[in-house]
Amino acid sequence: MKNNSLGRAFLLLVIAGAIGYGIGLGIDFSIRGELKLSASVPSAFALLFSFTAFFFGLYGYRGITRGLVFQVVGTVIGAALVTGIRALMGLESIGAFLFTEPAWVFGALVGVISFFFGVGVMTDWVKWARGIDTPDHHEDEPGWQKYFGVSLDHKVIGIQYTVTALFLLAVGGTFALIFRTELAASGLDFLTLDLDVFNQNGPQLYNTLMSLHGMIMIVSILLGISGIMNYVVPLLVGAHDMAFPRMNAFAYWVAVPASVLLLLALILGGFDTGWTGYPPLSSRAPLGVQMFFLGVFTAGWSSILGALNVIATVVRMRARGMTAMRMPILVWASVATSIIALTATQLIGLSFQLVMFQRLFGMGFFDPGKGGNPVLFQHLFWFYSHPAVYVFVLPGLGVISELLPVFVRKPLFGYRWVAMSSLGIALVGFVVWAHHMFTSGMNEYLRVPFMYSTMLVAVPTGVKFFSWVATMWGGKIETPTPMLFVLGSIVVFLLGGVTGPPNAMVALDLHLHDTYWVVGHFHDTIFGGFVFPFFAAIYYWFPKATGRKMNEFWGKVHFWLMTPSFFALTLGMMFIGLRGMRRRIVDYDPALGFDGAHLFLTVCAFLIAISILIFFINFFRSIKHGEPATGNTWNSRSPEWQVPSPMPAHNYEVPFEVVGEPYDYGLPGSKFVEFAAKTAGKH
């Protein structure tokens, strides 16, 4: 990346931010009649202007820049339209955030759709609708520029996903550091009551940051797994691209306006519901909750369409000889994940949509005063959100099974069982959702069946653990950075796994629910099932994408700083949780005696943040300065490593055929794939 364009981008970011802020301030002043520096409208303008200007400086007026401009203009036009209609109908037309809530919601929707046209993902489809054919492949411009515009290459899209996921990880992590700081001591009140930013006082801001931390991290996870699946699955199955390249690009670009909406939720008044958005609280929360709902709804489409593409790719585009029982485990895991994402995601979208409509049109779905039922929301919500945890972790568990044999130089133990366990987890995962609702007041007879079905998940999960342990048993374990993260995943996920069944016990969960115990538990599952394997995957496939390795030393520093801090963090959380620390509160009673523990947890959180910062620096430096690695860096049997790195645009120049088992490491003479050119004479 040219340094001068980056410098220019940052300069424009500051200038445009200031201009946007000034305009917003003027508008805000003209409505409010007083000058309020930390109000929402100027900040919203500053955010949108600076984002757009940054990409303009970097990339010019095309691709993402054009998309963002369209989004901003579309939002304003949509909102103005509703405002105009409301004014004509004699309804209130100006709200606390410049526009009224219906105007913001409609505007945001128009903005998202405008983004698609601006960025250019609709171009080919519009042509098709007009009966014009387009070429199958589009050539990308060389260099870094292709990452900022619409590309149809699954490898480019995979990297776009990954980098966006890392960006959101940093944003969500920053939020966590802010509210972790607030918790460092009881009565700290660093987010004070007189604070007034974005129309929120300190404790309200705490709630907003806490809620957004949850959802931004979840979106980051969804994009992260899409990143892995997009980059790796077509390579593993020997396809030249995904089945639907345009929809693939679309699914990625959906996530960008969605992220903008999530950030707007912070600025437009925030919300205090947690990531779960339960009514009745969410039907009364500030405007921010609408942006949150719409953002999640939009991001959900990314997940749904991405999943559709993965399934179609695996079903239709496998290399010759790759029968179901010779597919790499990561491919199996991706299919299992995608089955959940394809179907269940619709239910969180629906549940959020119903609350949006309840707020906009007074439809009383979840309002007992109008004959509605708030518990219904929780059923719809958890019907997605429990299976969603398997969406988060299955690809990660697939990465573990994929990498482990490479680094222990032994066959994967129990291939068939591991392949089937992913599907097993996905299917059982559909019938456990109400374990999140033991205290909700749902019908009591539902508790026991959901308790047992939840316990059942331990069976296929256990299969994976047995396989990993047996694979390592007696192997020659090498520990370069990716393998360290794989080992870390296994241990951390084990801790997450054994702390799950206690929650599934009704009698215990009535006490554990909504305590820090649960917070510790799910951070373990998510780190073990996603974050550690994600890092492992990045360290592992980085050379494939760039032709260079990430720095080993700093990779090891990253690992050895993050892992102990993380253990201390979640064990500490569980410890205070068991002793009665509530989750989702801004302050606590000093008499509980948790001050020391909380200070310790905050220190751990900062150590993790430092380790991830090290990762970021390593990541971006290695793109240019990493040690060259164009060959089979890890000595893997997998087809993508049999060709030089970085991978050429349309993947394999000669197709390969699968002739053996994928994980027969160390068995003399065994072969997984054969490339057509080499075997030309044989057949």
Partner 1 sequence: MSNKQQHPNLLTQGVFIFVYLAVLTALEFFVAVTFNSVVILVAVALVKAALVLWYYMHVNKLSESDESNHEAYAYKSGTNRLGLWLFLVSDSFVFGGLMVMRLSLLGMTRPDLSQTLGFFVTAVLLISSFFMNRGEVELHNGNRQGFLRNTMVTFVLGLFFLLGVILVEWHTVPAIAEPILHLFGEPEGKPLLKASSGPAGAAFFMMTGMHAFHVLTGLILLLIIWVNGKKGLYDEKQYPVEAAAVYWHFIDVVWIFFYPALYLIGTAV
Binding partner at 569 among ligand HEM, Cu ion, partner 1, none, C-beta below 5 to 8 Å by kind = none
Distance CA(231)–CA(155), nearest Å, equals: 5
Which CB sits closer to partner 1, 361 or 445? 361
Q: Residue with the closest Cβ to ligand HEM? A: 500
- Give the residue with the Cβ less far from ligand HEM, 185 or 285: 285
Shorter beta-carbon distance to ligand HEM: residue 384 or 522: 522
Question: 7 vs 368, which CB is nearer to partner 1?
Answer: 368
Residues that bind ligand HEM (rule: CB under 6 A) add up to a total of 25
Q: Does 577 bind ligand HEM (CB under 6 A)?
A: no
Is 276 or 622 the residue whose CB approaches Cu ion more closely?
276
Taking CB under 6 A as the rule, which mask of x and - marks residues 436-475 in contact with ligand HEM? x-----------------xx-xx--x--------------
What pairs with residue 627 in β-bridges?
A: 549
Residue 528: CB minimum distance to ligand HEM, A: 8
Q: Which has the closest alpha carbon to 605: 556, 553, 570, 557?
A: 570
Query: How many whole angstroms separate alpha carbon 225 and alpha carbon 231?
Result: 10
Tokens of 133: 């054919």
Which residues, 370 to 389, sit near Cu ion by CB under 5 A? Answer: 386
When asked if residue 525 is in the footprint of ligand HEM (CB under 6 A), the reply is yes
DSSP 139: P
Q: Which does 526 bind (CB under 5 to 8 A by kind): ligand HEM, Cu ion, partner 1, none?
A: ligand HEM
Q: Select 357 or 560, whichever has its Cβ closest to partner 1.
A: 357
Residue placing its CB nearer to ligand HEM in the complex, 442 or 458: 458
- Name every residue whose Cβ is closer than 8 Å to that of residue 20 and which is 6 or more positions away in sequence: 42, 45, 46, 47, 48, 49, 50
Q: Phi and psi dihedrals of 139, rounded to 5? A: -80, 135
Residue 644 tokens, joined:
């030089």
Nearer to partner 1, 308 or 504 (CB): 308
Among 146, 513, 579, 621, binds ligand HEM (CB under 6 A): 513
Question: How many angstroms separate the CA atoms of 402 and 472, rounded?
Answer: 13
Return the residues of window 141-180 that contact ligand HEM according to CB under 6 A.
Answer: none
Alpha carbon distance 100, 83 (integer Å): 7
Q: How far apart are CA 200 and CA 193, in angstroms?
A: 9
Stretch that binds ligand HEM, among 155-163, 241-249, 520-528, 597-605 (CB under 6 A): 520-528
Residues that bind partner 1 (CB under 8 A): 128-131, 243-244, 247, 304, 308-309, 311-312, 315-317, 342-347, 349-351, 354, 357-358, 361-365, 370-373, 376, 379-380, 383
Interacting residues of 4 by C-beta distance below 8 A, sequence separation 6+: none
What is the smallest separation between the CB atom of 307 and partner 1, expressed in angstroms? 8
**Residue 40, token pair as written in the block:** 């929402």
Pick the binder of ligand HEM from 518, 531, 562, 573 (CB under 6 A). Answer: 518
Is the CB of residue 255 less than 8 Å from the CB of residue 299? yes
Which pair of tokens denotes residue 490?
Answer: 């296994």
Residue 67 burial class via C-beta count within 10 angstroms: exposed 0-12, middle 13-18, buried 19 and up: buried
Which DSSP state fits 527? I
The answer to the question of residue 622 lying near ligand HEM (CB under 6 A) is no
632 binds, among partner 1, ligand HEM, Cu ion, none (CB under 5 to 8 A by kind): none
Cβ closer to ligand HEM: 107 or 529? 529
Look-up of token digits 């997450």: 496
Q: Which is nearer to partner 1, 89 or 591 (CB)?
A: 89
Q: How far is the CB of 366 from partner 1 (least distance, A)?
A: 10
Residue with tokens 């079905």: 453
Retrieve residue 37's tokens.
Answer: 């520096």
Residue 106's binding partner out of partner 1, Cu ion, ligand HEM, none, with CB under 5 to 8 Å set by partner kind: none
Q: In Å, how far are 634, 638, 656, 667 from 406, measured between CA atoms? A: 7, 9, 20, 13
Q: How far is the CB of 434 from Cu ion (least distance, A)?
A: 9
The partner in contact with residue 564, picked from partner 1, Cu ion, ligand HEM, none with C-beta cut-offs of 5 to 8 angstroms by kind, is: none
Q: How far is the CB of 350 from ligand HEM (least distance, A)?
A: 19
Site for ligand HEM in 116-145 (CB under 6 A): none
Q: What letters, b where the CB count within 10 A reaches 16 and e where it falls short, cover 26-45?
A: eebeeeeeeeeeebbbbbbb
Nearer to ligand HEM, 545 or 569 (CB): 569
* Alpha carbons 134 and 140: distance in angstroms, whole number: 15
Which residues inside 375-434 make contact with ligand HEM, applying CB under 6 A? 389, 392-393
Chain CA centroid to CA 12, Å: 29
317, interface contact from partner 1, ligand HEM, Cu ion, none, CB < 5-8 Å by kind:
partner 1
Of residues 371 and 596, the one with the C-beta less far from partner 1: 371
What is the distance between the alpha carbons of residues 310 and 226, in angstroms, rounded to a whole number?
A: 9
Using CB under 5 A as the binding criterion, the count of chain residues that bind Cu ion stands at: 1
Cβ-contact 527, 612 below 8 angstroms: no
Q: Does 504 bind ligand HEM (CB under 6 A)?
A: yes
Q: Which of 40, 46, 37 is nearest to 18 (CA)?
A: 46
Q: Is 435 in the site for ligand HEM (CB under 6 A)?
A: yes
**End-to-end Cα distance, the chain:** 47
Q: What is the C-alpha separation between 319 and 564, in angstroms, rounded?
A: 42
Does residue 344 belong to the site contacting ligand HEM (CB under 6 A)? no
In whole angstroms, what separates CA 668 from the centre of its chain? 41
Quick one: what does residue 321 bind among partner 1, ligand HEM, Cu ion, none, with the CB cut-off 5 to 8 Å set by partner type?
A: none
Pick out residues in 265-284 that bind ligand HEM (CB under 6 A): 276
Separation CA 101–CA 389 (nearest Å): 32
Interacting residues toward Cu ion by CB under 5 A: 386
Interacting residues toward ligand HEM by CB under 6 A: 276, 389, 392-393, 435-436, 454-455, 457-458, 461, 497, 500-501, 503-504, 509, 512-513, 518, 521-522, 525-526, 529
